[in-house]
Amino acid sequence: MANEILISNGMLITMEEGLPIIENGAVRIRDNVIAECGPEEAVAGQGGARYIDARGGIIMPGLVNGHTHAPMSMFRGLADDLPLDVWLNEHIFPAEAGRVNPESAHEWTLHSCREMLLSGITTCCDGYFYEAQVARAMAESGIRAVAGQGIIDFPAPGVPDPVENIKAAKAYVEAVKALSPLLVPSLFCHSPYTCSDKTLRAAKAAAREAGILFQIHVAETRNEREMIQGFNHRSVIAYLDSLGILDEETLLIHAVWVDEQDMEIIRDRGCGVVHCPESNMKLASGIAPVPKMLDAGIMVGLGTDGCASNNDHDLFGEMDMAAKLHKVACMDPCVMDARTCLSMATVNGARAIGLGGITGSLTPGKRADIIIVDRSKPHMTPMYDPYSALVYTARASDVSWVLVDGSVRVKEGRLI
């Protein structure tokens, strides 16, 4: 007999284009897959399922955090209010050298996963060092994840000899690819200024060979071009394109300092982009031209970045900040509307990291990554527009239930 769960007595938001909000909706899960979703009277009448009462809350897809450095929650609040180069070179890199080890990477990844699950994040895309330990912690937590082994041309945690960085990355992929059905390995080059063109090409070749996502921080700061050797006055995006590493399996993180020509390259190559507004604001990196990227047809997701440069894994706060930041930057209250921001944190975020066929929307056939948002609290009342309420009003603490791949991870606001 199939294992079934029925979630009902709530407002259903599927995040599928063109589908309406269903005031009295329900979702039936069968063997960890969404079997049906729609009006309660059409879905709930079959019986034979374990029942979850949404209590009038919003039943919606789990959130997708497109960029994290999970172990960096150990550095939450360390060296705040500094320029990025000073923060990174004088504080974060030395702290990583002294405190990041297999045990701490595992411990603090679990800490980050707990925080993410409690806040309604069912999927994250991570990149860091000792990523095998990160991946194991993610598998233990039950979160869905793309886990990228960090690659850098300097001595790094777990890879003291940078000559071994690609070899270590390949070994990582082999070590974790069968660890959990919820886990997808990835390779993560830190940036164009910490990885040589040789390293970038070799890492991308390894990712292509393994059929996995290649991630990279790109165009995060105004002076990034001056930090790259052999640059020849091209844009950062044009430089990466000249190396042949931009394609549908490349994820560009930040992309703050890009122009129209860069966006054409990104769109034509099919790269995904992850926008991290709070991190970019805190480090005064700039404001990514996300409305123009969206108009150009680029798939853009939303990420919190690590807790050292943002201080939390709260994607509800990130949606709110993204919407308001771009409105004031463009002097246009209509840009980055609530549905756009919610799409970046769900269905489009999943597509950007290569998991659009698995998660991000409540669609029959996709895995059952579902959250329920409590709307009974005073700050959620009245609710004229559910999309607006989720982006501008809801808080991470309003998440009452979280299911990942059909398994309950948070029940009535508490971790299982």
Q: Which pLDDT tens digit goes with each residue over 111-150?
A: 999 999 999 999 999 999 999 999 999 999 999 999 999 9
d(CA 24, CA 8): 8
Say which amino acid occupies 10: G
Place of tokens 């959620």: 380
CA 51 to chain centroid: 30
- Position 176 scores a pLDDT of 94
Residues 6+ apart with CB under 8 A from 384: none
CATH for 63-352 is 3.20.20.140
Mean pLDDT rounded to a whole number for the chain: 95
Domain extents for the chain? 4-62+361-415, 63-352
Regarding the domain delimited by 4-62+361-415, which CATH topology (the fold level of the hierarchy) does it fall under?
A: Urease, subunit C; domain 1 (2.30.40)
Rounded to the nearest 5°, which phi and psi values hold at 23? Answer: -60, -45
Predicted confidence band at 297 (pLDDT cuts at 50, 70, 90)? Answer: very high
- Position 231 scores a pLDDT of 64
Residue range 150-172, pLDDT digits in tens: 999 999 999 999 999 999 999 99
**Beta-bridge partners for 146:** 125, 184
d(CA 174, CA 171): 5
**Is the pLDDT assigned to residue 229 strictly greater than 80?**
no
**Is the pLDDT assigned to residue 227 strictly greater than 80?**
no
Q: What is the mean pLDDT of residues 92-120?
A: 96
- Poorest-confidence range of 18-22, 117-121, 330-334? 18-22
Helices 131-141 + 102-118 axis angle, to 10: 40
